A and B are shown apart, each in its own frame.
Chain A
Amino acid sequence: MKYRSLLYLLVAALFVTSFAVTDLSAQNDMTRDEWEQQMAEYTQQRDELRQQLDALEAEIEELNEQIASKQAEYQACREEILAMVGATEAEIRSLVERIQQLENQVSALERLSDQELLQRRDEVDEVKEAVNELKGNRQTAHPDTYDRLMALDERVNNLLDRLEGMVITYTVGTWSRDRDCLWNIAKKRDIYDNAWLWPRIWQANRDKIRDPDIIHPGQRLQVPPKGDGRMTSGEQDAANRYYREVREGLR
Chain B
Amino acid sequence: MTLIKKVMTHVLVIITISALIMGCARRPSAEELAQLEDLRAEVAALEREIESKEGERSSLQQQVSELDQNLRTCAEDKEKVRQRLQQWD
Q: Which residues of A line the B interface, CB within 8 A?
A: 3, 6-7, 10-11, 14-15, 17-18, 21-22, 24-26, 28, 30-33, 35, 38-39, 42-43, 45-46, 49-50, 52-53, 56-57, 59-60, 63-64, 66-67, 70-71, 73-74, 77-78, 80-81, 84-85, 138, 141-143, 146
Contacts and interface: CB of A to CB of B under 8 A. Distances in A.
A15 B18 contact: yes
B46 A77 contact: no
Nearest to B74: A77
B82 A35 contact: no
A11 B81 contact: no
A143 B77 CA distance: 6
A173 B68 CA distance: 69
Given A22-B27, A32-B27, A42-B39, A53 B80 contact: no
Interface in B45-89: 46-47, 49-50, 53-54, 56-57, 60-61, 63-64, 67-68, 70-71, 74-75, 77-78, 80-82, 84-85, 88
Given A74-B67, A141-B81, A53 B42 contact: no
A53 B43 contact: no
Interface residues of B, number: 48
Given A3-B3, A77-B74, A39 B27 contact: no
B81 A32 contact: no
Contact of B22 (A21, A63, A146): A21
B1 interface: no
Give me the 4 closest cross-chain CB pairs, A-B, nearest first.
Answer: A25-B27, A49-B46, A63-B60, A77-B74
26 contacts: A11-B10, A14-B14, A14-B15, A18-B18, A22-B27, A25-B28, A28-B33, A31-B25, A33-B26, A35-B36, A39-B35, A39-B36, A42-B40, A42-B43, A45-B43, A49-B50, A50-B46, A53-B46, A53-B50, A57-B53, A60-B60, A67-B63, A73-B71, A74-B70, A77-B74, A77-B78
Nearest to B35: A39
A131 B32 CA distance: 82
Interface of B is mostly: helix
B23 to A, nearest CB: 11
Interface of A is mostly: helix
Contacts of B35: 39
Contacts of B3: 3
A127 B47 CA distance: 63
B48 to A, nearest CB: 10
Given A10-B14, A18-B22, A59-B57, 4 more contacts: A31-B27, A53-B53, A80-B78, A85-B81
A142 to B, nearest CB: 7
Nearest to A84: B81
Contacts of A15: 18
Contacts of B77: 81, 143
